[in-house]
Amino acid sequence: MTTRRLVLSRSAALIGAASTGLLLPQIARAQGAKVRVGLMLPYTGTFAQLGVAIENGFRMALDEQGGKLGGREIEWFKVDDESEPAKGVENANKLVQRDKVDVLVGTVHSGVQMGIQRVVRDSGTLSLIPNAGVHAATRALCAPNVFRTSFSNSQPTRALGQAMVAKGHKKAVWITWKYAAGDEAFEGFKESYTAAGGTIVKELGLPFPNVEFQALLTEIASLKPDAVACFFAGGGAAKFIRDYAAAGLKGKIPLYGSGFLTEGVLDAAGPAADGIITTMHYSDSLDTPRNRKFRLDYAKTFRMQPDVYAVQGYDTGLLLVQGANAVKGDLSAKPALYKAMEGAVIDSPRGKWTMSKSHNPVQDIYLRQVENKENKVIGVAAKALADSGAGCKMG
Ligand code: PHB
């Protein structure tokens, strides 16, 4: 009886409130309900430290706004996606269906991203990709509500082949984890290397996230190419660099890679990483006031050095701030929100970049070399490089 009376009197109050308009969700939002921000990132497994760096960078950008988005407080939701593609849809739905987030920030692994893409294309939830480079997300499966702040998988390696041939390395072996990120990085490498006159003598691979490199390194030793190029990242990259040196290949067959190979792993890899040349849309040593200030602030706040993942997380925050400010925090004003994000110029530690029509960064790619635990810039491998966006139809 008591419960029923309570329910009745509460619903009477609700009807009263609704008739004065107080309960209309859009008004409640615009007037200051919290923005629901969902993070779907790997916090365990070989990409765990990538997830942490992305979250750190993202929070730093929002903290610079007093921890608010378009004037509204933030409520945070987090899911560890474990870089497990089989759980991608289920994990994305935890944030979209259960937590009803206004924006989903994630993720690192290309296979998991495909799960997110399925969910957000159905729900229309704003989706910001702070790493995963899977081509489909900004090509055939692009969508007005999906924006990538990182790279497409073939973008960094599209600048690598030319640089290797210019150093006189005309015969190369390619090695990677066999999944979308490795396969699509190969696409960029193959195109640039063969266009510059290089020959790929062998493609080697192993399943993600295996790190039993020994047999493959023995094969490389017997193939005796001029150079090796690769895609690895996170914990697996640190082990690959150490194993490459331990197998006696360092100093004999120069090692090149998509720049993820040497991001966030230079302490773990130690001197085995010295001399590795890579291409990437960021470099620790970019000597600009913007990068110097970012690195100092990040190191002070988190007591560790930032890497490309921290920069991508930070830029994701900068993009969301620009969008949220343009609509005064009302993220349900979608056309205006998307328009502001499409036109945004991101003043990033990597250098200024803009969004392509398919919502992927148009950005410079640097040539870097590891020296004393730092990725030092040794040149610009490509200016304002855009992904093709092939097959993307918005709308
Ligand atoms: C990806 O799976 O798209 C991926 C993962 C780690 C990286 C880069 C790309 O460092």
pLDDT digits (tens, 9 = 90+) for 197-242: 999 999 999 999 999 999 999 999 999 999 999 999 999 999 999 9
Q: What tens digit of pLDDT does each residue of 256-306 get?
A: 999 999 999 999 999 999 999 999 999 999 999 999 999 999 999 999 999
Q: pLDDT > 90: what percent of the chain?
A: 91
> Which atom of ligand 1 is found nearest the CA of 308?
10
CATH code linked to domain 33-151+283-359: 3.40.50.2300
- Supply the pLDDT for residue 228: 98
Indicate which residue's Cα is closest to atom 7 of ligand 1: 233
> Which atom of ligand 1 is found nearest the CA of 111?
2
Q: Is 236 in the pocket of ligand 1 (CB under 6 A)?
A: no
Indicate which residue's Cα is closest to atom 5 of ligand 1: 109
Placement of tokens 């979209």 in the chain? 96
Dist. CA 285–CA 331, nearest whole Å: 36
Query: In angstroms, what is the span from residue 39 Cα to ligand 1's centroid?
Result: 17
Three-state DSSP class for 386? coil
pLDDT surpasses 60 at 29: no
Q: What tens digit of pLDDT does each residue of 357-370 get?
A: 999 999 999 999 99
Where along the chain do the CATH 3.40.50.2300 domains lie? 33-151+283-359, 155-280
First to last CA, the chain: 52
Dist. CA 299–CA 378, nearest whole Å: 24
Dist. CA 220–CA 173, nearest whole Å: 7
Q: Is 181 in the pocket of ligand 1 (CB under 6 A)?
A: yes
The amino acid sitting at 24 is: L
Dist. CA 179–CA 85, nearest whole Å: 11
CA separation, residue 249 to residues 147, 160, 235, 265, 314 (Å): 40, 20, 20, 19, 36
pLDDT surpasses 90 at 19: no
pLDDT surpasses 60 at 7: no
- 303: tokens are 């007591």
Q: Kindly indicate the confidence band of residue 62, based on its pLDDT and cuts at 50, 70 and 90.
A: very high
Q: Angle 11-13-17 (CA atoms, 0-180°, nearest 5)?
A: 115
Q: Is 128 in the pocket of ligand 1 (CB under 6 A)?
A: no
Query: In angstroms, what is the span from residue 320 Cα to ligand 1's centroid?
Result: 22
- Supply the pLDDT for residue 313: 99
| pTM attached to this predicted model | 0.92
Positive or negative, the CA dihedral 259, 264, 268, 271 is positive
- Supply the pLDDT for residue 246: 98
> Which atom of ligand 1 is found nearest the CA of 132?
3
Q: Which residue has the higher pLDDT, 25 or 176?
A: 176
DSSP assignment string, 289-354: HHHHHHHHHHHHHHSS---HHHHHHHHHHHHHHHHHHHTTT-TT-HHHHHHHHHT-EEEETTEEEE
- 317: tokens are 């925050």
DSSP assignment string, 212-254: --HHHHHHHHHH--SEEEEE--HHHHHHHHHHHHHTT-TTTS-
Query: In angstroms, what is the span from residue 355 Cα to ligand 1's centroid?
Result: 20
Query: In angstroms, what is the span from residue 99 Cα to ligand 1's centroid?
Result: 26
Query: CB of 311 within 8 A of CB of 294?
Result: yes
Pairing verdict, β 351-355 and 146-148 = unpaired
Q: What tens digit of pLDDT does each residue of 231-259 get?
A: 999 999 999 999 999 999 999 999 999 99
Q: Tell which CATH architecture fits domain 155-280.
A: 3-Layer(aba) Sandwich (3.40)
Dist. CA 207–CA 186, nearest whole Å: 15
Three-state DSSP class for 57? helix
Dist. CA 191–CA 22, nearest whole Å: 58
Q: Is 260 in the pocket of ligand 1 (CB under 6 A)?
A: yes
SS (HEC) of 136-175: HHHCCCCCCCEEECCCCCCCCHHHHHHHHHHCCCCEEEEE
Q: Is 309 in the pocket of ligand 1 (CB under 6 A)?
A: no
Query: In angstroms, what is the span from residue 235 Cα to ligand 1's centroid?
Result: 12
Say how many C-beta atoms besides its own lie within 10 A of residue 343's C-beta. Answer: 11
- DSSP code of residue 283: -
- Supply the pLDDT for residue 32: 57
Dist. CA 30–CA 381, nearest whole Å: 45
